[in-house]
Amino acid sequence: MKPLTKDTNILIVGLGVIGGSYARALSRQGYTVRCITKEQKDIDYALSLGMIKEGSTEVKAEFVQKADLIIFALYPHIFVEWIKEHQHLFAAGTLITDVTGVKSRIVYEVQSILRPDVEFIAAHPMAGRESSGVEYSDDRVFIGANYIITPTERNTPEAIEACKTLGEVLGFARITELSPEEHDRMIAFLSQLTHCIAVTLMTCNEAPMMEQYTGDSFRDLTRIAKINDAMWSELFLLNREALLEQMDAFANEFDRFRTLLKIGDSDGMRETMRRATARRILFDKPQKSN
Amino acid sequence: MKPLTKDTNILIVGLGVIGGSYARALSRQGYTVRCITKEQKDIDYALSLGMIKEGSTEVKAEFVQKADLIIFALYPHIFVEWIKEHQHLFAAGTLITDVTGVKSRIVYEVQSILRPDVEFIAAHPMAGRESSGVEYSDDRVFIGANYIITPTERNTPEAIEACKTLGEVLGFARITELSPEEHDRMIAFLSQLTHCIAVTLMTCNEAPMMEQYTGDSFRDLTRIAKINDAMWSELFLLNREALLEQMDAFANEFDRFRTLLKIGDSDGMRETMRRATARRILFDKPQKSN
């Protein structure tokens, strides 16, 4: 595995909102970026903005073989299928990485089926958009955001290093390593649970006219209820156990608070609110990376 | 009851973040604003910024008697106590209003104990701040926001009209009328439930280091978890039945979604997400009043 340099040939598979944001950042910094994606119109769009050097709607052997680094920005099940079907095309020594939002169920499977002369180092760029499609891609979303690498014992220090460099090049503020399992527990709480809550808030009370009275707090809590149902249902199912655990922890604590209210335990409610207030301060955005 | 004009003498009781925001808006527009509040330092602050003409930490009979309109910006139980203790000071024909976040349990009680020659018209300015204290007051929070008047059969058309004018003068984008009961059901869902959820999110998983990986969606869902525990626990208890009803509706729908995940019903999850997405669009902030 070669270190990441400006000579690195990069192939992005899947030019959606995240793949497109990667393409923008990498081309801007002088890397040679090719892409394979489903729709010719997305390639034309990316070419017109100089986001890629070349693109193809077919799995072009030449593109795959030229690549030193291949970034998969696909739905999880399509990523795994792609590897099974096309991995014979990889040049020996190719490094592959991904952007998938869940890890345990993907990383071990891909690593177990992958050719031994090719290395897969998994990563999760924690920056997203409510809208999908390359026309919504924007590499400014990486600024101030987290990039999480989830190596396993099959990964080499060189691949981990190259993946960190990729995170830096993309502009992420904080690059960290977690095990796939730690990543999935964290993401179940911080991201998947919050999406479940936002969706539930939108579907638990469908009384008319509510929108006429809404304020910013309700809007903030439900912004992410505009959701890509195909992608998120797949991500939820791939992280089912960890997400169910977080949903149960939330439901139990919500029920505890409900009981405090029901029995009129003002002190208990106030103690919980003070604890929430104190803990929330930890989560304020650092001023520097704002 | 006289209509609201620039000659109206206004007394604000309670110069906190909301009372202070009223004072700023009203003084800027040329009204004569006095205040009664607990701390001399808050009066000094307001005087230094021209937010009020005069202030007193005592319930000064002269201030009360001069006032055509008195705005109570107090904790609910203190508001009711204040009326009981000091209503003998009101001049006949005084209009009083409030900013209380719950209505049924306050409006009828105050109207039933109030002198017959004084009228109470209740209102709820739906604009707040996470921080309390006059130094956080800012009347720009009213721009684009909702002002809800909750008249009862005891109210006169003239008082309702004066209260609407007050909402307009303060700069609210939408001024509407709801019954106290409708108001409380709406606020239980749009505001109180969301605060319960935000608090629960902060207390259901206290694992360390989570803040290192957080993204904007978790921050958005928990912004309001920084909460004034004294005020909100009082508001929750004063609206207990309506809030319990909304908490139960949320918990049931959350559990339904959990079951879809548990049994792997992808179609069911996707249908729910599509419904959430479609409904959320209704709640987007109107571009004009932004």
Residue B145, CB-side half-sphere exposure with 13 Å CA sphere: 21
Task: Output helix, strand, coil percentages for chain B, rounded to the nearest 5.
Answer: 55, 15, 30
- The two tokens of residue B103 are 């209505």
Average pLDDT of the residues in B174-203: 96
Q: What pTM did the predictor assign?
A: 0.90
Rounded Cα distance, B187 and A5, in Å: 56
- The two tokens of residue B74 are 């107090």
Instruction: Dump pLDDT digits (tens) for B33-76.
Output: 999 999 999 999 999 999 999 999 999 999 999 999 999 999 99
What pLDDT sits at residue B138?
93
The answer to whether the beta carbons of residues A186 and B213 sit under 8 Å apart is: yes
Average pLDDT of the residues in A259-285: 96
Among A68-82, A210-224, B5-19, the range scoring the smallest mean pLDDT is A210-224
Q: Which amino acid is at B188?
A: A
Instruction: Dump pLDDT digits (tens) for B3-39.
Output: 788 889 999 999 999 999 999 999 999 999 999 999 9
Average pLDDT of the residues in B90-114: 97
Instruction: Dump pLDDT digits (tens) for B110-165.
Output: 999 999 999 999 999 998 777 789 999 999 999 988 999 999 999 999 999 999 99
Please provide residue B149's backbone torsions phi and psi, each rounded to the nearest 5 degrees: -100, 135
> Is A194 in contact with B145 (Cβ distance < 8 A)?
no
Q: A178, A252, A265, A280: which to substitute to probe chain B, counting the most B Cβ within 10 Å?
A: A280
**Chain B residues lying within 8 Å of A232, measured CB to CB:** 273
Average pLDDT of the residues in A45-59: 97
Where on the phi/psi map is residue A39: left (φ > 0), alpha (ψ -120 to 50), or beta?
beta
Provide the percentage of residues in chain A whose pLDDT is more than 70: 97
Residue A219 sits at the chain B interface (C-beta within 8 Å): yes
Let me know how long chain A is.
290
A184: nearest CA partner in chain B = B213
Rounded Cα distance, B159 and B142, in Å: 21
- Say how many C-beta atoms besides its own lie within 10 A of residue A189's C-beta: 25
Rounded Cα distance, B167 and B159, in Å: 12
Pair type for strands B54-56 and A174-177: unpaired
Confidence of residue B263 (pLDDT cuts 50, 70, 90): very high
B279: nearest CA partner in chain A = A202
Q: Which of residues 119-138 of B touch A (CB under 8 A)?
A: 126-128
Residue B59 sits at the chain A interface (C-beta within 8 Å): no
Q: A102, A202, A252: which to substitute to probe chain B, counting the most B Cβ within 10 Å?
A: A202
**Chain A residues lying within 8 Å of B193, measured CB to CB:** 201
Among A112-126, A136-150, A245-259, B206-220, the range scoring the smallest mean pLDDT is B206-220
> Is B276 in contact with A203 (Cβ distance < 8 A)?
yes
Pairs of CB atoms within 8 A across A/B: 270
Among A180-184, B149-153, B207-211, the range scoring the smallest mean pLDDT is B207-211
Residue A223, CB-side half-sphere exposure with 13 Å CA sphere: 20
Q: Which amino acid is at B93?
A: G
